[in-house]
Chains A and B, each alone.
Chain A
């Protein structure tokens, strides 16, 4: 495609090149706009109260000191370190469990063609239309029935059975070369061993993609933790939200908290987005 488009650009000559530059400039401005919120978080975290309420907007932070961050973690009322810990356990736990359960099921649905597989696939796709958040009232009732309020079980288990992840794995594994699996079967491997030793090691791209998307979703989750988490499992998003919607906000502290909260997920994202793009490109949605 790039060959065809660059050819057409050559045909258009100078006007095309000007158009190209205009487009780059437009995209660059848009890129600045897209990155602006991230800069604002940084700017607000390191701006003093006086700088924040000054009627003339100040772009450059005036309180660039590490004590902003260290003070945040020593504030026991806020318990930011605890919230980070709860969020880490919840999101890593949910990611590992979701990927494990969905990968196994996705492999089963891709490799075994029978009537049950058809029915299960339909049930899975149907739940994509009725997302978990819409059914939060019944799920919450269920979870409190189990006595799972304010526990990691309650935070993780009701939301870890992801129809989306299973569907993505199934679509991606449909394209896995069966020759490899057949060769392993001839060597006497059973289907589980084939999946574990042959298919999984060769599917790390899609595993990384689904892991990234699950981790980001879990770390950023708000509604479900709002219902289930209490003091013992308060996640970082809840802490920030409660802090923000309460009266008398300490702006710098709040945004320093936000800065700390987005760092892990941005790091994960930057390292793994290649797989995310690839995984979404190869498995497709259709």
Chain B
């Protein structure tokens, strides 16, 4: 700023232009960046982040059939849920379910991926066959499993095979025993194994050939090759696959709902947390959105804790090397 009267009038817009120029970035790159990412970021904030925050807010209120609650209840919703035997059972059951289904699905997918690795000219055919259940919905799969494979009547596929072999039929989904887990787990495996097999094949293809050649020269056996080359090299894919499987396990809803429920009511056993939350907050007559919000928070916390623990477990060897 100089003493001549004309200059101050020009310096103000000049400074503003420089701020504007900074926002725009070189050749307006920041503006272009904003143009590209804004639709997605706004959508993510409005439809993912705001609902989570809103739900956290509702979880501290008595919000029965209202979303503008006035009665602050503190942690009462959390206390209620954590002392509710149905919710506790469902949480415990699904922690066990996740601990079981994640490694089993991973092992099956990896087994298929490894077998298809050197199967020669049938490779593409088998890959397609194992992959195609991905196209089927849980609803349709549940129909086949519930009404044909695991139909408790004599004309169910497995029961009629059992009868032919001289055994008694089993009441698969009736709830008088725990056989329904066979149906639920086999359905999930059928639907998921192929998808994760493809991801693992992608991971296997990234392992450099010469590491195997070196191992072959050293005379490493198949098992040692798997243990000391394949699995360590596959670690980042493994971490991603197991994380997706874990989230999927806690997210279970479709096949449970369609296999176990009858006319809108769901039995108290084999009840996924999401089904329970659906029943108390939206689907049933209770319409308790405060409880639903609290349940969402608890479930999210459990997924995050398990995810971190799993990540720590998968990457433990990296830390040991470091």
Interface residues of A (CB under 8 A from B): 1-9, 20, 23-24, 26-27, 30-31, 34-35, 37-38, 40-41, 44, 52-57, 101-102, 104-105, 107-109, 112, 114, 116-117, 120, 123-124, 127-142, 144-145, 157-161, 163, 166, 190-192, 195, 216, 219-220, 222-223, 226-227, 237, 240-241, 244-247, 249, 251, 254-255, 258, 261-262, 265-266, 268-270, 273, 276-277, 280-281, 284-286
Contacts and interface: CB of A to CB of B under 8 A. Distances in A.
B132 interface: yes
A192 B35 contact: yes
Contact of A285 (B136, B199, B201, B251): B199
B141 A37 contact: yes
B97 interface: no
A237 B49 CA distance: 28
Interface stretch (B3-11, B14-22, B50-58, B78-86): B50-58
15 contacts: A23-B115, A31-B125, A34-B194, A41-B140, A105-B39, A108-B36, A124-B44, A129-B307, A135-B52, A139-B47, A139-B51, A237-B140, A245-B263, A284-B237, A285-B199
A3 B117 CA distance: 11
Contacts of B49: 123, 127
A270 to B, nearest CB: 8
B243 interface: yes
A244 B258 contact: yes
A166 B40 contact: yes
A192 B155 contact: no
Could you say which of A8, A9, A55 has the most chain B C-beta atoms within 10 Å of its C-beta?
A55
Given A134-B251, A284-B206, A55 B119 contact: no
Interface string B51-84: 1101100100000000100000000000000000
A265 B140 CA distance: 12
B236 interface: yes
Interface residues of B, number: 111
The list of the 3 closest CB pairs from A to B, nearest first, reads A108-B36, A138-B51, A161-B43
B33 A137 contact: no
A40 B144 contact: yes
A153 to B, nearest CB: 12
A105 B37 contact: yes
Given A241-B258, A262-B136, A9 B51 contact: no
A21 to B, nearest CB: 11
A273 B209 contact: no
A220 B147 CA distance: 19
Given A37-B190, A145-B67, A261-B140, A101 B39 contact: yes
Given A4-B216, A56-B160, A277-B198, A105 B47 contact: no
Given A161-B43, A223-B254, A244-B143, A27 B282 contact: no
A15 B226 CA distance: 20
B152 interface: no
Contact of B67 (A107, A141, A258): A141
A269 B134 contact: yes
B250 A102 contact: no
